Every structure is written in C-alpha cells, then in structure tokens.
C-alpha cells in the first residue's frame, strides 16, 4: 500500500534557547528547496521511479547514524563521547581544548587507512 507524504516547508518558530535550534534552522533552510525536480531528472536518467528514489534518500539519511556507528565501532564512539563528557564536566576552556586535541588524534588515527592506500593491519 502506497503512503503519501506531504513535502512541506518549515518556518518555526522556536525559542532562542532551544537545544535543537541548529537542527530546526537546517530544516527551515532545506525545506525551502523543492527536491522533486532533481528526483524526477534522476528518475528519467536511471529509469527508477521517483517514489523509490525518495524512499532511498530518506532511508539512507535515516540510517546514516547507525552506518557510522558500524563503521567506527562502539568502542571508538564511546571514547569520543567520554572525552566530550569529561571536558564538559570540567567546564573549562582548557579541558575543552584538551578534548578537541584528543578528538583530533582519534580522527587522525581513523584517517590512516584512508590516506595511505598501501596501509594494512599488522604492517608497521
């Protein structure tokens, strides 16, 4: 059974201290764009129904968090979270800068196999 979704613009409002204000702002900005011309062109060129493409885009976006978790692994995500939590608990700029540097080191470590095509586990 086909379900219908109305593609509507979002304008808010939201309070200035809303913890989700950044997300709401992005929704307000992107919801002004009509995605159908792009989906229709892609549909014509790839011979895939617009509805299937829309479903793909939504599903891909909605699963991106779990995909990232699977790629990084729960241990790395928890390490990153702990760095941020500890810095926020300390409440100092120095602690936040230390966390920033530590997160940068984790990201640099994660980039090694992407930046070095010859890299393989166990190789020095």
Q: What is the pLDDT of residue 34?
A: 95
Look up residue 59 and give its two tokens. 């599903």
Whole-angstrom Cα distance, residue 8 to residue 14? 17
Look up residue 44 and give its two tokens. 């014509």
Chain centroid to Cα 124, Å, comes to: 32
Q: Which residues contact 113 (CB under 8 A, 6 or more apart)?
A: 119
Q: What is the pLDDT of residue 122?
A: 65
Domain boundary assignment for the chain: 21-62, 74-115
Structure pTM?
0.60
Q: What is the pLDDT of residue 8?
A: 96
What are the 10-residue block averages of pLDDT along the chain, 124 residues in total?
Answer: 89 93 94 95 97 94 82 88 96 96 91 80 61
Q: What is the pLDDT of residue 123?
A: 61
Cβ 124 vs Cβ 101: under 8 Å: no
Cβ 97 vs Cβ 106: under 8 Å: no
- Structure-derived torsion over alpha carbons of residues 35, 25, 79, 87, reported in degrees to the nearest 10: 170
The three-state secondary structure class of 31 is coil
């Amino acid at each position: 059974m086909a379900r219908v979704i109305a593609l509507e613009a979002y304008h808010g409002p939201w309070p200035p201290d809303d913890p989700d204000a950044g997300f709401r702002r992005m929704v307000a900005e992107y919801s002004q764009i009509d995605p159908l011309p792009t989906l229709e062109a892609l549909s014509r060129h790839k011979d895939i129904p617009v509805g299937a493409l829309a479903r793909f885009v939504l599903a891909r976006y909605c699963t991106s968090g779990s995909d990232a978790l699977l790629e990084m692994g729960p241990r790395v995500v928890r390490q990153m979270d702990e760095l941020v939590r500890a810095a926020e608990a300390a409440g100092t700029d120095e602690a936040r800068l230390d966390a920033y540097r530590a997160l940068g080191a984790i990201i640099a470590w994660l980039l090694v196999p992407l930046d070095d095509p010859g890299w393989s586990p166990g190789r020095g």
